[in-house]
Structure 1
Amino acid sequence: MPDLSRRKTLALIGGGTVFAASAASAAFLTTRTPHAALAPWEAAGTYADPRLRALSWGLLAPNPHNRQPWEAELRGEDMIAIWRDPARDLPVTDPFARQLTIGMGCFLELTRMAAAQEWLAAETMLFPEGEDGPVAVMTLAPGGTPDPLFAHALERRSHKEAFEARPLGPEAAALDAIAAIHRDGPVLEGLRDAAADAWVTEINTPDAYKESIDLFRIGRAEIEANPDGIDLGGPMFDALKLSGLFSREIAMDVDHPGVKGATEATIEAIYAASAMVTIVTEGNGRADQIEAGRRWLRLNLAATGAGLALRPVSQALQEYPEVAPYYAEVHRLAAPQGGTVQMLGLLGYGTRTARTPRWSLETRLRS
């Protein structure tokens, strides 16, 4: 997934001045926050119906390219049917919807945890009508037990900035029960190489790269209109867009200095992170993918609680021909006894990422 943080955009403007100092430019700079797109973070848990309260937390879950593929339908007085919207598919980089299904697992787990916070158990049936029906049907009933990890739900992020180059401290030990943490040695180095090479391959594979570029939301207006995809917000991106220094067309030019800078910055992040993490499942069915999503969500929350930053690097696990060698290499390194590596990520220390935009709960409900 292309990653353009504030630091990386400096390459795009070549160190030049975007705005002259003036009252008008100062006003512009202070009105670039997409408040409506961030409102769901404040609305979490504020609904009257306990099912809606749980769902309002669930939609804050991490998901591929921030596609937010979930839809929910309230049934009766205590049931929720949860669907994956195929209109949000990623047909080039995720042709079998494996990663999107993992995202649904993240959503289901955070929804379950939110219900448990109110002492409600969420009995969940996966794919009760086959793959053409809902991903899950949840029935809420008394008997849930609050999960300590839920305390980190509002602070949880998928990291996007640089990492500090320092080894993991003892606080990371709590994560070992959730995922494999590769702290040093040849497996770590091999995973780093595969992740970096796959990232460069995606940048140089036009169809795969364009799938991400098409999901860029550049500046506040685009983010408010479509609060999903890859948000590039804040005063700098708004200024670059208005001045013509940044656009989707520029981002597609792999020889542009800014694109090269962003590519190198992501490679730097891969090698600077303290460790890499993998989540492996025995099989690769839909239930396995859902379970991988549950575990990734819990890993993300646990990392947040430990003061660590977690960032997925999905390119080496995508399933289109150009990255097949890296997919095979990650499996050789991280699953030598068999199984499917469902998630690969970077773990370390870094500055906190801002909240990412979300569609409101009302737009995710089926009538």
Structure 2
Amino acid sequence: MCNTIQETTPVTPLDPSDARCNAVKYAILAPSPHNTQPWRVAFQGDERIILSIDHSRLIPGCDPLGRQAFISVGAFLENLDLAAKNSGLRADIDLFPAGWPDSRLVQDTPVARVDLVEDPHIEPDPLFLQIPLRHTSRRRFEKRKVPLDAAGEITAAYDFSLVPLGFSHDDDLIHAIADLAADAMEIELADPERFRETLQYFRFTDAEAHTAQDGFGHAQSGYGPVMRFFIGRFILPRSKAASSPESFSRMAKRSTREQAASAGGIGWLSTKGDHRVDQVRTGRAFQRVHLKACALGLALHPMSQLLADYPGMAGLRSVLRDLLGVPDTQAVQMLFRMGYARPVLPTPRRRPGDFFFP
């Protein structure tokens, strides 16, 4: 039994005959804050996967409690489960095998122990087909409301009882949230550490994205290659953003307001508690929400700044809670806009072998 990272005994991680390699290949396509991809993987024996958080890829300024990182772990596990089912395997997932974790610390112990077991009763889930098609879209969406029927179909795609979905396409709410989101972006980038983290993972050019294989940039906002070249080289290159943070902040605030105001609907996920298990469950639910939205032809974009856990965001979080009508007894874990838009390029991804640790 594995309780700590040190007890793992990895096997050759990219053996094509090992079903776990195929499952991990799809799992790493999950979303994560700033597309940091903060996952570490090891294999044990013939069936077991040990999943941990890569501390070197945390963003403690923007995500001081690691809540968003644990949500990304849930999304990773959902993809892993879907990929296993598609191969006729059952994923037996044991969360926090070393014991109940501290909800305010990111400990150096496994987040999940997963055994992939052959099971003749397992059937593929159609959402598996959406994994390589799901991308976060930072485009401005078309002026078209997301129908309530679509929200109903999305709700039916996951266990609503543990992580309820809220949805509205009310214009007044959308514009109020757009103003809040813009203010939240300004607050986030006003802090030097948070600004540094954002700049660290923002890809100003295609060359940066290709080299780093993580982060996000102008490509996810729908800009074509020529416009991306001019923005990244002349209008707002990395050197100008680093030396003039206010220029980058103004651009980000303006883009955030325009993006949010173009939403065809606003969705949110909440939980009764705010423990690590709740956050992992949220990640699994959110991934299914996004995959189902993708299957319905909907674009989706998380708006994480408004839910940030640092003190400077507490006031806006309170206003948001009132706008959404979420009681104080629940934690809003995810906020996102949905709508209709042309596809965007996927965020860059590291190679599967980069996630394995010795």
Given the two structures, how large is their TM-score scaled by the length of structure 1? 0.81
1:352 CA displacement? 1.0
Gap change, CA 1:192 and 1:218, over 3 Å in 2: closer
Match of 1:283, SS state, is coil
1:110 counterpart residue number: 79
1:111-130 map, 5 Å: 111-130=80-99
Contact 1:172 1:306 in 2 (8 A): no
Contact 1:46 1:53 in 2 (8 A): no
1:151 counterpart residue number: 129
Cα deviations by residue, 1:161-183 (Å, 9 ceiling, x for unpaired):
11112211344431234521122
The answer to whether 1:77 aligns with 2:68 is no
> 1: distance between equivalents of 2:171 and 2:217?
35
User: Which sections of structure 2, spanning at least 5 residues, go unmatched?
Assistant: 1-13, 100-106, 159-164, 220-224
Match of 2:91, SS state, is strand
Contact 1:330 1:341 in 2 (8 A): no
User: Greater shift after overlay, 321-330 or 98-107?
Assistant: 321-330
> 1: distance between equivalents of 2:265 and 2:27?
28
Match of 2:284, SS state, is helix
Gap change, CA 1:301 and 1:132, over 3 Å in 2: same
Match of 1:224, SS state, is helix
Cα deviations by residue, 1:14-36 (Å, 9 ceiling, x for unpaired):
xxxxxxxxxxxxxxxxxxxxxxx
Pairing partner for 1:246 from 210, 219, 236: 236
Contact 2:179 2:257 in 1 (8 A): no
1:174-253 map, 5 Å: 174-177=153-156, 179-184=165-170, 188-232=174-218, 234-242=225-233, 244-252=234-242, 253=244
> 2: distance between equivalents of 1:180 and 1:99?
19
Pairing partner for 2:55 from 86, 90, 98: 86
Contact 2:71 2:279 in 1 (8 A): yes
Match of 1:199, SS state, is helix
1:57-76 map, 5 Å: 57-76=26-45
Gap change, CA 1:358 and 1:100, over 3 Å in 2: same
Cα deviations by residue, 1:156-203 (Å, 9 ceiling, x for unpaired):
011111111221134443123452112227655544443232123223
Match of 2:132, SS state, is coil
1:245 CA displacement? 4.2
1:204-353 map, 5 Å: 204-232=190-218, 234-242=225-233, 244-252=234-242, 253-256=244-247, 260-334=250-324, 335-336=326-327, 338-353=329-344
> 2: distance between equivalents of 1:112 and 1:98?
21
User: Greater shift after overlay, 56-65 or 143-152?
Assistant: 143-152
1:255 CA displacement? 4.5
Pairing partner for 2:110 from 134, 151, 157: 134
Gap change, CA 1:217 and 1:139, over 3 Å in 2: same
> 1: distance between equivalents of 2:21 and 2:216?
26
2:152 counterpart residue number: 173
Gap change, CA 1:347 and 1:220, over 3 Å in 2: closer
Contact 2:50 2:112 in 1 (8 A): yes
> 1: distance between equivalents of 2:281 and 2:320?
20
> 1: distance between equivalents of 2:58 and 2:179?
28
Cα deviations by residue, 1:263-291 (Å, 9 ceiling, x for unpaired):
32320111110111101011111110000
1:24 counterpart residue number: none
Contact 2:290 2:300 in 1 (8 A): yes
Contact 2:232 2:238 in 1 (8 A): no
1:46 CA displacement? 9.8
Match of 2:115, SS state, is strand
1:51 CA displacement? 0.4
* Letter of the structure 1 residue corresponding to residue 321 of structure 2: H
* Letter of the structure 1 residue corresponding to residue 116 of structure 2: L
Contact 1:279 1:292 in 2 (8 A): yes
> 1: distance between equivalents of 2:321 and 2:84?
35
1:48 CA displacement? 2.3
> 1: distance between equivalents of 2:261 and 2:330?
26
Give the length in aligned residue pairs: 321
Match of 2:117, SS state, is strand
Equivalent pairs: percent with the same residue? 32
Gap change, CA 1:245 and 1:273, over 3 Å in 2: closer
Match of 1:153, SS state, is helix
2:8 counterpart residue number: none
1:320 CA displacement? 1.6
Gap change, CA 1:300 and 1:318, over 3 Å in 2: same
User: Greater shift after overlay, 61-70 or 213-222?
Assistant: 213-222
1:354 counterpart residue number: 345
> 2: distance between equivalents of 1:92 and 1:262?
17
Match of 2:37, SS state, is coil
